[in-house]
Amino acid sequence: MKTRTIEAKPVAVCVTGASGVIYAVRLLEVLSERKIPVHLIVSDAGKIVLKEELNLSVKSLVSGRDVTLHGIGEIGASVASGSFVLGSVVICPCSSNTLGAVANGVGNNLICRVGAVALKEKWPLILIPRESPYSPPLLENMKLLSIYGAHILPASPSFYRKPSSIADLVDSVIDRVLVKMGLERLLSPWSGQVSK
């Protein structure tokens, strides 16, 4: 009898113009290693930050990976519809502008539209803001998204594992993203402190 292989559901990774594109690059690496198909959307501002922070192009993110690239203006793309099932949607990094648009149902570009679809379909929607400090409107929009079921996961690396590199700090954030996506984590779970 032939066994049926269950394929991993594709995920959408959306990159906006906030600082911190290193997190998106690492997430794409991990998903590629795990052979999870990705639908990638990079905003115009995201392309600028990618070049400025890491000297990378969008083309380099797609090369050699199972990645389908969509333009920010492709409102008719497959991922713009709930009938195209995604395992999760990650907006990484997520600008305050994009977060506000998704929180208020403004689907004026493909990233915002995919976020809106994730909310209505109740797929895991993970937003990684990297702003500091948080303005009152941003906090209100985060609260709204949390009420709607989205995961607000700030790019706040942890230090209790005694990181020795920027890569360690990045992985501490991506590990939490993977957990919210329902995927196997990168790092071993925190075992707690041992009493002496």
On whether residue 6 sits in a domain, the answer given is no
In a domain, 70, yes or no: yes
Q: Does residue 4 have a pLDDT over 60?
A: no
Mean pLDDT value across residues 140-153: 97
Q: Which of 5-14, 18-27, 96-105, 142-151 has the lowest mean pLDDT?
A: 5-14
Q: What is the pTM of this model?
A: 0.91
113: in domain: yes
**196 within domain boundaries:** no
CA atoms of 188 and 121, how far apart (whole Å): 31
Average pLDDT for residues 89-106, to the nearest whole number? 96
Its domain, for residue 133, covers 11-181
Number of domains in the chain: 1
Question: What mean pLDDT do residues 96-112 have?
Answer: 95
Q: Is residue 105 part of a domain?
A: yes
User: Does residue 25 lie in a domain region?
Assistant: yes
Q: What one-character-per-residue DSSP string does 56-82 give?
A: --HHHHHTTSSEEEE-TT-TTSGGGST
- Residue 112 inside a domain? The answer is yes
Binning pLDDT at 50, 70 and 90, where does residue 196 land? low
Q: Specify the CATH number for the domain of residue 83.
A: 3.40.50.1950
